[in-house]
Chains A and B, each alone.
Chain A
Amino acid sequence: EAGVAQSPRYKIIEKRQSVAFWCNPISGHATLYWYQQILGQGPKLLIQFQNNGVVDDSQLPKDRFSAERLKGVDSTLKIQPAKLEDSAVYLCASSYANLNTEAFFGQGTRLTVV
């Protein structure tokens, strides 16, 4: 079974530039998450989709971050404009629709804002 695919693996941008990350979840997984992991910390949820609808985006900085999941499969996360404090690893994860099921994570995209 193919895992969660993310791209790019690494990205370096200057502050105030924009950047986009892509995620392809495990086939059949209705729930998709984007997490932000700052170095030395645990992952923090940014946004959760159930199929193509947003379930939880309470911790998404909506003035600069946006995400979409068209057709309930792939997803993109965008940052515009980027700030220095956005430097982190952005992890995509997916899980089957039912509750109490584990989430499977991709390798992540390491973003460095200079």
Chain B
Amino acid sequence: EDQVTQSPEALRLQEGESSSLNCSYTVSGLRGLFWYRQDPGKGPEFLFTLYSAGEEKEKERLKATLTKKESFLHITAPKPEDSATYLCAVQGIREIKAAGNKLTFGGGTRVLVKP
């Protein structure tokens, strides 16, 4: 069974204070690792997909990286509008191909950026 663990559970940053979020995963075969952002009262919003170790993706102040066991989401010089819960999810290889679409999520990291 796929497992995802995110740390820390919560992170308080000052505006401009860069930091990293960790996502450790266990999966029999990785199809993809996904990062989502979730604002209070809303559904998760897609950020990135990573497929293989060594891959990196960037979007504004966010950069996601992937190794064979974990992924990091780096937040560079964050602003208050980056405050949100960041969710990591994996898609594992399944015997039934269609079932491989299933996303297994971690518990998320709640990020608060203070001005």
Q: A-side interface residues toward B, CB under 8 Å?
A: 4, 31, 33, 35, 40-45, 48, 50, 55-56, 91, 93, 95, 99-108, 110
Q: In the complex the two chains form, what is the Cα distance from A45 to B91 in whole Å?
A: 12
Q: Is the CB of A50 within 8 A of B106?
A: no
Q: In the complex the two chains form, what is the Cα distance from A45 to B103 in whole Å?
A: 8
A-contacting residues, B62-115, CB 8 Å: 87, 89, 91, 96-108
Residues of B within 8 A of A105 (CB): 36, 43-45
Select one of A42, A99, A104, A106 contacting B101, CB under 8 A.
A99
Q: Is the CB of A99 within 8 A of B102?
A: no
Chain A nearest CB, measured from B65 CB (Å): 18
Q: Is the CB of A31 within 8 A of B101?
A: yes
Chain A nearest CB, measured from B41 CB (Å): 8
8 new A-B contacts at CB < 8 Å, known A4-B43, A40-B107, A91-B43 = A31-B101, A42-B4, A42-B107, A100-B32, A102-B49, A103-B103, A106-B43, A107-B41
Interface size of B as a range = 20 to 34
Select one of B32, B43, B87 contacting A108, CB under 8 A.
B43
Chain A nearest CB, measured from B2 CB (Å): 10
> Contacts A43-B44, A104-B46, A107-B42: A99 and B31 contacting too (C-beta < 8 A)?
yes
Q: In the complex the two chains form, what is the Cα distance from A105 to B89 in whole Å?
A: 13
Residues of B within 8 A of A44 (CB): 105
Q: In the complex the two chains form, what is the Cα distance from A43 to B43 in whole Å?
A: 10
> Contacts A91-B44, A100-B51, A105-B43: A42 and B102 contacting too (C-beta < 8 A)?
no
Q: Is the CB of B97 within 8 A of A99?
A: yes
Q: In the complex the two chains form, what is the Cα distance from A103 to B41 in whole Å?
A: 18
